[in-house]
Structure 1
Amino acid sequence: MLRLIDNPKRMFRMFVANRDLIAALTVREVLGRYRGSMLGMFWAVFQPILMLAVYTFVFGVIFRSRWPGGTGSRAEFALVLFSGLLVFNMFAECLNRAPSIILSNVNYVKRVVFPLEILPLVAVAVALFHLFISFLVWLVFYLIAIGVPSVTVLLFPVALLPLIFLSLGIAWFFSALGVFIRDTAQITGLFTTVLMFLSPIFYSADSIPARFRAIAGLNPLVPVIEQVRRVLMWHEGIDLHAYLPVLVLSIVVLFGGFWWFEKTRKGFADVL
């Protein structure tokens, strides 16, 4: 019980003590992902641009979709849809990467002095980098298609805070679980696909039938996506009534994931 209570302090000390190493590993991971390719880092920008163009064409031109309560323009629908994908893509990247984090860094496990707990943190930092690039693409498209966004855009980092905590806690949990249960990667991949359609990305949360809203409320991405759309698209502030519960939940997952990682890490070397 005492170790559980001391969890936040140990986590904070770990982050402060290893902040330079975390930054260095994050840069190496980002550069290494595109090293050797012809376009290099441009792939980080090209992919969200391509996906935004595809979504605009498919949903705006072919399906002629319009977002409920919006202006009805194709550009607006694409921006609303893409703002939801900003949240989902980061969470999906962290979840799918988590089970192989320790397995792909076996050499670090053998080093007693290496802080293994920073590896999931590095994965989340890389996902944040890709989210930032995608956000810049969204911002440029918004400036071209609609105009200058509202000042509520500055609340975007605040709206993302629960997502960051949630992603890090889950990365810690599944990175440790993946060491002992190798099927974890297949499970998370399948779960991510299902979660994409159960999250209000391609549709509004208000369009979910009333009898299913209680079940949809169990999805922690729903309030995060809604908060992000409030500050990016609808020029509204943070809805604290919906924001605070998911923030508390994400903090619980954060500490729980770190506690699980610390509890199970002693067995990594025996399994690997």
Structure 2
Amino acid sequence: MKGVVAVVNPHAKRSIALRGLISSVWRNKQLIWQMTKREVVGRYKGSAMGLAWSFFNPVVMLAVYTYVFSEIFKTRWVGVGAEDSKTQFAVILFVGMIVQGLFAEVFNKSAGLIVSNVNYVKKVVFPLEILSIIALGASLFHAFISFIVLVVAFFAFNGFVHWTAILMPVVIFPLMILILGFSWFLASLGVFARDIGQFTAIVTTILTFLSPVFYPVSAVPEGFRPFMMANPLTFIIEQSREVLIWGHLPDWSGLALYVLAATAFAWAGFAWFQKTRKGFADVL
């Protein structure tokens, strides 16, 4: 495969510089693209509908959210008029689910990235650091399909779409960086501590209910709001709703600070991965 080097010592010291990471991504861009496509298509391999499931699933979930929360629970979102709240609650909630789903999918998968690809560690020399990027790319594909479903639904319910929706990639970008940091940490830890996979499932469940997915931040008692804002998903979910639902510009200074913090964390995760990867072959 393109991007695979012929002979390298698996125990050799690896560079932890961000420049080395960027160089690796660029050098293996074709490999990343091909393996991401394989990851996406492989999920639906053998099914009659194939990739159509990636569109069908979010449509069904949005329909379920609309019915359950508007007709059964009679839920209303604070700050939304009663006449619009039935449909608006569904799309507001769906925004949170898209962001949470993107994070949770990669977070839960990361602990098994190296363990499930032992051949790349033992039998061939492979740029292992790109496995996290491939996992993120596949998750981004499904998040993009959900985003399209959301935009179509918003237009169907309201008759318009805010132009600020085009800023959604800018809002999601800092979260992508943060996700990679988590992924590199967990991919490495998953080799040495197999229980990490069970732990990540618990963490994502907790984060789902401690994030403003099903409720607005304003509904949280003021004493607990600092803890809510410390959740890395909270700011991104809130900013996603600003550009998609309310038609407001994002908090540029907040996004800039998030990018800086996420980059520092991602570098730490990458450095940890590079420092520990020389032990992967011995453990596996």
TM-score where L is the length of structure 2:
0.92
Is residue 202 of structure 1 aligned with residue 214 of structure 2?
A: yes
1:105 aligns with one of 114, 117, 120? 117
Write the mapping of 1:85-124 to structure 2, written as runs, cut at 5 A.
85-111=97-123, 113-124=125-136
Which of 49, 63, 68 does residue 39 from structure 1 map onto?
49
Give the letter aligned to residue 139 of structure 1.
V
1:7 pairs with 2:49: no
| The one of 28, 49, 57 aligned to 2:59 | 49
Residues in 1 aligned to 2:239 and 2:110: alpha-carbon distance in whole angstroms? 25
Counting aligned pairs with the same residue, the percent is 45
Report the more deviating stretch, 203-212 or 237-246. 237-246
Which residue of 91, 94, 108 maps to 1:82? Answer: 94
Secondary structure in 2 matching 1:217: helix
Please, which of 139, 145, 149 is the counterpart of residue 137 of structure 1? 149
Residue 249 (1) aligns with residue 261 (2): yes
1:82-138, CA deviations, whole angstroms, 9 ceiling, x for partnerless residues?
011111000000000000111110000014531111111100000000100100110
Letter in 1 for 2:157: A
Q: CA RMSD in A?
A: 1.5
Segment drifting more, 98-107 vs 209-218: 209-218
- Corresponding residue number in structure 1 for 2:34: 24
For structure 2, the 5+ residue unaligned runs are 1-12
Counterpart-to-counterpart distance in 2, 1:246 and 1:62: 38
Residue 182 of structure 1 aligns to a residue whose secondary structure is coil
Q: Within 5 Å, which residues of 2 pair with 1:222-237? A: 222-237=234-249
Contact 2:106 2:183 in 1 (8 A): yes
Helix, strand or coil for the counterpart of 1:16?
helix
Give 3-state SS (helix, strand or coil) of 2:160's partner. Answer: coil
**Distance of 1:135 and 1:240 partners within structure 2:** 21
Q: Which residue of 2 aligns with 1:168?
A: 180
The Cα shift of 1:52 comes to 0.6
Check 1:33–1:86 CA distance in 2 against 1; reply closer, same or farther (3 A cut): same
SS at match of 2:111: helix
Aligned residues: 270
Matches of 1:113 and 1:181, distance apart in 2: 23
SS at match of 1:261: helix
What is the CA-CA distance between 1:14 and the residue it aligns to?
A: 0.8
Cα deviation for residue 193 of structure 1 reads 0.6
Which residue matches 1:66? 76
Amino acid at match of 1:207: A
1:23-63 Cα distance to aligned partner (Å, 9 max, x none): 00000111111010122111111111111111111111111
How big is the shift at 1:247? 2.1
Q: Which runs of 5+ in 1 are unaligned?
A: none
- Which segment drifts farther, 21-30 or 147-156? 147-156
Name 1:155's counterpart in structure 2. Answer: 167
Cα distance in 2 for residues equivalent to 1:63 and 1:112? 54
* CA distance in 1 between partners of 2:228 and 2:207 (Å): 10
CA contact (8 A) 2:16 2:274 kept: no
With normalisation by structure 1, the TM-score equals 0.96
Q: Which moved more, 1:173-182 or 1:232-241?
A: 232-241
Q: Render the CA deviation track for 1:118-177: whole Å, top value 9, x for unaligned.
A: 111100000000100100110111111112211111110001011110111111110111
* Deviating more after overlay: 84-93 vs 141-150: 141-150
